[in-house]
Amino acid sequence: MPSYSIEAVDTQGKKIKVDVEATSSQDAIAKLRSRGYKPTSIKEKVNNQQPSSASPSSVPGSQPATPSTAEPVAKKAKPKKSFTLFESVKHKQLALFTQQLSVLINAGLPIVRSLKILANQMKPSLLKNISATVADDVETGSSLSESLARHPKAFDKLYVNMVRAGEAGGILDVILQRLASFMEKAEAIKRKLVGASVYPAVVMTVAVGVVIVVLTFIVPKFEEVFKQVGTTLPGPTQLLIDVSNVVKSIWFLIILLPIILFILLKLYMKTKPGRLMIDRFKLNMPFLGILIRKAVTARFTRTLGTLLQSGVPILEALNIIKGAAGNEVVANAIAQVHDSIREGENIAEPLAQSGIFDDMVINMIDVGEETGELDKMLLKIADTYDSEVDVAVSSLMSILEPILILFLGLTVGLIVLALFMPLVSLLENIGGKTGGKF
């Protein structure tokens, strides 16, 4: 009967290595799982002495390799890597990868086999290349978390540390499932925020474009008519013509100025004082500031709750969140919380001092600490604020739509009024000279 060398995680989270005699790799995995162990890799021993060069993650259900078939298995084609120079890993793609990896591991497939399956079925992409590389690293003896940490562009500190916690606790499939759920909800919040800001940005851009076209091409035509008639121009009309002349003379600056300001703002945001100032402005913006605060609260509580639920120590979890906060003001608040907890204080008081989080959030966290269920309380807060973000987005859009329509109507109305005031005056003069008869 063939013998298999299997690496697994026992019920206490310790890594073990055992030899199992079984009719197939699937039977060997089933025997080990029946003892409560979670296999991470499997190698068939050739002649019951040396592990064969077959993949550590032989497909469950496949026929056991013999000495005559060991070599072809060793030369099994690896996932082909594609050329990706400037490509990045999308969050949606990474969430799907995490979900599928969780399902495969939960089904009993070893990690290496699971990674290779995912790499083979992916379309050419950066994540496909990384998955194949990670599979090779794990196959040569590295842990999954160590292999993932070598690719920070795809897997951030939060991802790597949660995987490390899952490996240590022997619940990698459960942790990956939580991580996938976390990423999906975080992406949903991001889409809502982007959706709330895209509509007004597009409307304002179109409005500015229309005004520039009117001032550049239409107003000069009216100016020529007014000069030929020789009528005296009202103040609003003269102001509109003066603005039109300025726009025609510096149109290139009007195009370049926003681009220059955008570049300067980006450079300023690369400095710590710049990030701090911009992020503080975001939190205090009218309308959008409330929405951003709710989204920040949901992100912070869900990330911390997920990390704590996965077994990551609170100080390490706060360090991870601080680096992935995405807001310098929030990162500073988290750093203060970290220092306070290290000195023996609780988490609620320094959070309250930051002034970022609502009283309800502080009180619920305080209750969670007292009851010993901080992780569950944090996730409940996150669910609550996710719902509030939905409501806030809907409310914001319902408020912005009439305001933008009113703004556009006033802008166009004032331009039309300024252009037709001289014409009305001219018609009145003509009517007076002819006694009202044409």
In a domain, 118, yes or no: yes
The answer on 333 and 245 residing in a single domain is yes
Query: Same structural domain for residues 48 and 108?
Result: no
Share of the chain above pLDDT 90, in %: 1
Task: Write the pLDDT tens digit of every residue in 118-155.
Answer: 989 888 888 888 999 999 988 888 888 889 989 988 88
Same domain, 230 and 101: no
- Phi-psi bin for 372: left (phi > 0), alpha (psi -120 to 50), beta? left
Query: Is 433 inside a domain boundary?
Result: no
| One domain, residues 142 and 247 | no
In a domain, 14, yes or no: yes
Measured CA to CA, the distance from residue 357 to residue 78 in angstroms comes to 50
What is the predicted pLDDT for the residue at 431? 60
Residue where one domain finishes, among candidates 155, 176, 211: 155
Residue 331 and residue 209 share a domain: yes
Asked, for residue 386, whether it belongs to a domain, the answer is no
Is residue 204 over pLDDT 60? Answer: yes
Average pLDDT (354-380) is 87
Q: What are residue 46's DSSP bridge partners?
A: 50
pLDDT in tens, 170-195: 778 888 888 888 788 778 777 877 77
Task: Say what the pLDDT of residue 55 is.
Answer: 38
Nearest residue to 285 (alpha-carbon basis) of 378, 200, 190, 353 = 200
Whether residues 281 and 321 fall in one domain: yes
Query: What CATH number has the domain bearing residue 151?
Result: 1.20.81.30
Residues 149 and 192 in one domain: no
Residues 264 and 370 in one domain: yes
Residues 39 and 110 in one domain: no
Which range of residues forms the domain containing residue 47? 3-56
The Cα 175–Cα 165 span in angstroms is 8
Same domain, 228 and 355: yes
Burial pattern 264-300, b for ≥16 Cβ within 10 A else e, equals eeeeebeeeebbbeebeeebeeeebebbbbbbbbbbb
Secondary element (H or E) of residue 5: strand 3-9
pLDDT tens string 58-95 = 333 333 443 333 333 334 445 555 545 456 788 888 88
The answer to whether residues 107 and 236 belong to one domain is: no
Task: Calculate the average pLDDT of the chain.
Answer: 78
Q: What is the pLDDT of residues 310-322, one digit of tens each?
A: 788 888 888 888 8
Contact predicate 386/185, CB 8 Å: yes
> How many folded domains does the chain comprise?
3
Whether 104 and 203 map to the same domain: the answer is no
